[in-house]
Amino acid sequence: MKPRVRFAPSPTGPLHVGNARTALYNWLFAQREGGTFLLRIEDTDPERSLQGYEEGILEDLRWLGLSWSEVSRQSERLQIYRRYAERLLDEGRAYRCYCTPEELAEMKRLQLAEGRPPRYDGRCRRLGEAERRRLEASGRSPSLRFSVPQEGETAFKDLVFGRKAFRNAEIGDFIILRSDGWPTYNFACVVDDHLMGITHVIRGEDHLSNTPRQILLYRALGWDPPQFGHLPLLLGPDGKILSKRHGAESVGDLRQMGILPVALANYLALLGGAVKGDEVLGWPELIGRFSLEGISSKQSIFDLKKLLWLNRAHLRRASGEELKGALQALLTMPPGVEAYLEALKDNASTLLDFPKLLPIFLEEVPPMGEDALSVLKEEGAQGVIEAALEELTGGGKEGWIERLTERGLKGRQLFRPLRAALTGRTEGPELRRVIELLGEERLKARLDAALKLIRGGQG
Q: Which stretch binds ligand GLU (CB under 6 A): 2-10, 96-104, 165-173, 263-271?
A: 2-10
Is residue 164 flagged as an active site residue? Answer: no
Using CB under 6 A, pick the residue from 9, 212, 261, 417 that binds ligand GLU.
9
Question: Smallest gap, in angstroms, from Cβ of residue 8 to ligand GLU?
Answer: 4
Residues 232, 202 contacting (CB under 8 angstroms): no
Using CB under 6 A, pick the residue from 93, 145, 200, 203 that binds ligand GLU.
203
Beta bridge mates, 72 = 40
Helix %, strand %, coil % of the chain (to 5):
55, 10, 35
In the three-class reduction of DSSP (H, G, I as helix; E, B as strand; rest coil), residue 143 is classed as strand
Which amino acid belongs to residue 220?
A
| Calculated CA dihedral for residues 393, 394, 397, 401, nearest 10 degrees | -110
Count of residues in contact with ligand GLU, rule CB under 6 A: 7
d(CA 239, CA 59): 30
Any contact of residue 57 with ligand GLU (CB under 6 A)? no
Phi and psi of 300, rounded to 5°?
-105, 145
Q: Which stretch binds ligand GLU (CB under 6 A): 7-15, 109-117, 124-132, 370-378?
A: 7-15
Q: Report which of 411, 404, 406, 365 is spatially closest to residue 387, judged by C-alpha positions.
A: 404
Could you tell me which residues come within 8 angstroms of residue 172 by beta carbon, excluding any fewer than 6 positions away?
119, 120, 122, 148
> What count of other Cβ atoms lies within 10 Å of the Cβ of residue 399?
12
Any contact of residue 10 with ligand GLU (CB under 6 A)? yes
What mask of x and - would describe binding to ligand GLU in positions 24 to 43, judged by CB under 6 A?
A: ------------------x-
Question: Smallest gap, in angstroms, from Cβ of residue 167 to ligand GLU?
Answer: 22
d(CA 61, CA 68): 10
Q: Which stretch binds ligand GLU (CB under 6 A): 5-13, 112-120, 172-180, 239-247?
A: 5-13
Which CB, 45 or 322, lies closer to ligand GLU? Answer: 45
Residues in the chain: 459
What mask of x and - would describe binding to ligand GLU in positions 134 to 173, judged by CB under 6 A?
A: ----------------------------------------
- Using Cβ positions, the residue closest to ligand GLU within the complex turns out to be 203
Residue 52: is it exposed, middle or buried by C-beta count within 10 angstroms (0-12/13-18/19+)? Answer: exposed
Which CB, 192 or 342, lies closer to ligand GLU? Answer: 192
Which of 108, 157, 164, 244 is the catalytic position? 244
Which CB, 202 or 323, lies closer to ligand GLU? Answer: 202
| Catalytic residue numbers, as ranges | 244
Interface with ligand GLU (CB under 6 A): 8-10, 42, 189, 203, 207
